[in-house]
Amino acid sequence: MKELQEFGQIFFQETGLALLSRVPLSSYSSFRIGGPADYFLEVHQLSDLILAVQTARKHRCPFYVIGGGYNLLFDDAGYRGLIIRNSAAGLEIRSEQGYLEAASGTHLSALITQALAAGLAGLEFLAGIPGTVGGAVYGNAGAFGRAIGERVVGVTVLTADGREQTLGPAELCFDYRYSSLKKDHKIILKASLAVEPGSSKEIIKKIEEYLEQRASKHPPGETPCAGSYFKNIVLPGGRKIPAGQLLEQAGARGMRVGQAAVYPGHCNFIINLGQARARDVLILAAELKEKVWQTSGLALEEEVIFVPEDASML
């Protein structure tokens, strides 16, 4: 504990940023699950994100950067190190060059609203996906057969050796719920997304259609969950089999472990009935995978990211 306090003091002396300690991570995940983080810091400026990451690296303090926490399952044991919540938001509209440049902590909802206000189209399919630009680029978030990667012109990252680097789509290797950022420890700072002039009426119409379709199959707003738990299966040739369909056929409906349950309206959502632990979710997910394997011979992969207590971006 003394060591913990000392690191907090050193961090403050070097950065002017005050770390919180023993912060329950359940408050920072839409699953509402997770034990305490030794240290926690929310940053509102990209310069603070960079400073925090560089200082943690300098002192070899394990750290993990999160956005909105909408795709995460934190460990019951919490996190041994520093969780950095990135709320560094901001948008520069460069419509004459055909793109918007968003700071990684900008929420997708703000991105869409501001694009609409500027009469810029192309990002409507992201409407209703919760989370930040950083989280979306990391996992190539998307819906209705489209994904953010197809709109990315470039991403500025902080490399492991502390340099800022701009990566183009070819280096980011976007694929279904995948970017090359999942392979290394680069911190996403900014993303440039292609847009084109559009009619506000048309943009609003599309957004409303997407939101309506989502409302019909997703759990209602405040249900604690982290979105689709498993990825859809992609067959050679590209055809997708929805994980929800495989789970339904395997008899997932009604299954639960402790306070973690399969959402009755859509079997690919695991929901927290109130007091679920990460352990409940992990056991339920393993049971679901086994059932699908037994009934279809197909291996489901998690879309939700489990963050063990010793995860690190050092």
Ligand X SMILES: Cc1cc2nc3c(=O)[nH]c(=O)nc-3n(C[C@H](O)[C@H](O)[C@H](O)COP(=O)(O)OP(=O)(O)OC[C@H]3O[C@@H](n4cnc5c(N)ncnc54)[C@H](O)[C@@H]3O)c2cc1C
143 touches ligand X by CB under 6 A: yes
In whole angstroms, give the CA distance from residue 143 to residue 182.
Answer: 19
In whole angstroms, give the CA distance from residue 39 to residue 81.
Answer: 6
Q: Is 306 helix (H, G, I), strand (E, B) or coil?
A: strand
Of residues 227-256, which lie at the interface with ligand X (CB under 6 A)?
227
User: Is residue 303 annotated as part of the catalytic site, yes or no?
Assistant: yes
Region from 7-15, 54-62, 223-231, 284-292 binding ligand X, contact rule CB under 6 A: 223-231
In whole angstroms, give the CA distance from residue 183 to residue 11.
Answer: 28
User: Residue 199: phi, psi to the nearest 5?
Assistant: -85, 135
Region from 10-18, 112-120, 129-137, 294-302 binding ligand X, contact rule CB under 6 A: 129-137
Region from 39-47, 128-136, 162-170, 205-213 binding ligand X, contact rule CB under 6 A: 128-136
In whole angstroms, give the CA distance from residue 309 to residue 314.
Answer: 14
Type and span of the H or E element at 65: strand 63-66
30 touches ligand X by CB under 6 A: yes
Query: β-strand 20-24 against 72-74: which pairing, if any?
Result: unpaired
Q: Which of 174, 306, 297, 173 is nearest to 230 (CA)?
A: 306
Region from 16-24, 35-43, 134-142, 238-246 binding ligand X, contact rule CB under 6 A: 134-142
User: Is residue 104 annotated as part of the catalytic site, yes or no?
Assistant: no
**Choosing from 177, 179, 277, 309, which is the catalytic residue?**
177
Q: What is the DSSP letter of 196?
A: E
In whole angstroms, give the CA distance from residue 106 to residue 134.
Answer: 8
112 touches ligand X by CB under 6 A: no
135 touches ligand X by CB under 6 A: yes
130 touches ligand X by CB under 6 A: yes
Q: Which of 38, 34, 138 is nearest to 86 (CA)?
A: 138
Pick 257 or 270: Cβ nearer ligand X: 270
Q: Which of 104, 106, 156, 268 binds ligand X (CB under 6 A)?
A: 104
70 touches ligand X by CB under 6 A: yes
141 touches ligand X by CB under 6 A: yes
In whole angstroms, give the CA distance from residue 40 to residue 26.
Answer: 13
78 touches ligand X by CB under 6 A: no
Do 107 and 50 touch, CB atoms closer than 8 A? no
User: Is residue 30 annotated as part of the catalytic site, yes or no?
Assistant: no
136 touches ligand X by CB under 6 A: yes
Residues touching ligand X: how many (CB under 6 A)?
Answer: 31
Chain positions contacting ligand X, by CB under 6 A: 30, 64-72, 86, 104, 129-132, 134-136, 138-139, 141-143, 187-188, 218, 225-227, 305
Which residues does the annotation mark as catalytic? 177, 228, 303
